């Protein structure tokens, strides 16, 4: 089960050859997802998610916050996240949320690698964050018997990810950026840009302080930029 107060990286250095598969996962090394310790951690997360998504009343704000304290790696207590159920993740303890995070329905974070999200970030419905990956060689992949690998996903302050977008392993989304609805992000997103498409590409560059919208994100119509010059 997940130890109380567990934080990734809170372990003494262990030679790679002596690491458990959980230690390998937390260190960003290939790991066996079927390892019993990791299986126990996933089960513990599923139980917390069932309580969050199904058991608790929608207006039980304190109850939801308490579940998130047990589930997530960290979040800002003074400006706690608001996550619309249902929400799904693998372990929870690899997720770190900044101030005022908002997440719409059906978000998926496969946190086999770290998911680090900055302040005032908004996620639309059905956003999917995928730090985890498998070998493309089927012999190496070996179904569920092969080793998995994971790379961190980092999202900077003041970002907006539109509904249904997908973020692939190892991606950094720079602060102030917008990812249009349905985009598939396969490369890093520069700060203060709007990206769209599959694969996502930059369609607009913004200046900090300007209010601009890409249009079509989460189904909202385009709006004219508010100029400050």
21 tagged catalytic: no
Report CA Rg, the chain. 18
**Whole-structure pTM over 0.95, yes or no?**
no
Q: Please, which residues have CB within 8 angstroms of residue 169's CB and are 6 or more apart in sequence?
A: 113, 130, 131, 132, 133, 149, 150, 151, 153
Residue pLDDT, tens place only, 157-207: 999 999 999 999 999 999 999 999 999 999 999 999 999 999 999 999 987
- What average pLDDT score do residues 199-222 get? 65
Residue pLDDT, tens place only, 68-84: 999 999 999 999 999 99
Question: How far is 43 from 2, CA to CA, in rounded Å?
Answer: 10
Question: One of 79, 134, 135, 220 is an active-site residue; which one?
Answer: 134
Rounded-to-10 torsion of CA 211, 215, 219, 221: 90
Degrees to nearest 5, angle at CA 155 with 5 and 27: 50
64 contacts 44 by C-beta, under 8 angstroms: no
Q: How many CA atoms lie within 13 A of 65 on its CB side?
A: 12
Tokens of 211: 């209010």
The full set of domains in the chain, from first to last, is 16-207 (2.160.10.10)
Instruction: List % helix, strand, coil for the chain (3-state, nearest 5).
Output: 20, 25, 55
Kindly state the percentage of the chain with pLDDT values over 70: 83
């Amino acid at each position: 089960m997940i130890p109380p107060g567990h934080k990734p990286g809170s372990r003494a250095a262990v030679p790679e050859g002596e690491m458990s598969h959980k230690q390998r996962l937390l260190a960003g090394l290939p790991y066996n997802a079927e390892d019993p310790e990791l299986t126990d951690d996933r089960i513990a997360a599923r139980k917390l998610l069932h309580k969050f998504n199904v058991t608790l009343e929608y207006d039980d704000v304190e109850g939801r916050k308490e579940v998130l304290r047990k589930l997530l790696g960290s979040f800002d207590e003074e400006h706690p996240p608001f996550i619309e159920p249902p929400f799904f993740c693998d372990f929870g303890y690899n997720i770190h949320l900044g101030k005022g995070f908002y997440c719409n329905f059906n978000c998926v974070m496969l946190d086999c690698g770290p998911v680090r999200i900055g302040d005032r970030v908004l996620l639309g419905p059905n956003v999917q964050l995928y730090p985890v990956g498998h070998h493309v060689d089927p012999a190496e992949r070996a179904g569920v018997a092969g080793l998995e690998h994971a790379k961190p996903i980092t999202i900077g302050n003041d970002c907006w990810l539109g509904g249904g977008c997908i973020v692939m392993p190892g991606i950094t989304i720079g602060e102030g950026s917008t990812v249009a609805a349905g985009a598939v992000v396969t490369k890093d997103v520069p700060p203060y840009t709007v990206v769209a498409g599959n694969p996502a590409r930059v369609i607009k560059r913004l200046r900090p302080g300007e209010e601009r919208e890409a249009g079509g994100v989460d189904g909202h119509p385009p709006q004219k930029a508010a100029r400050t010059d």
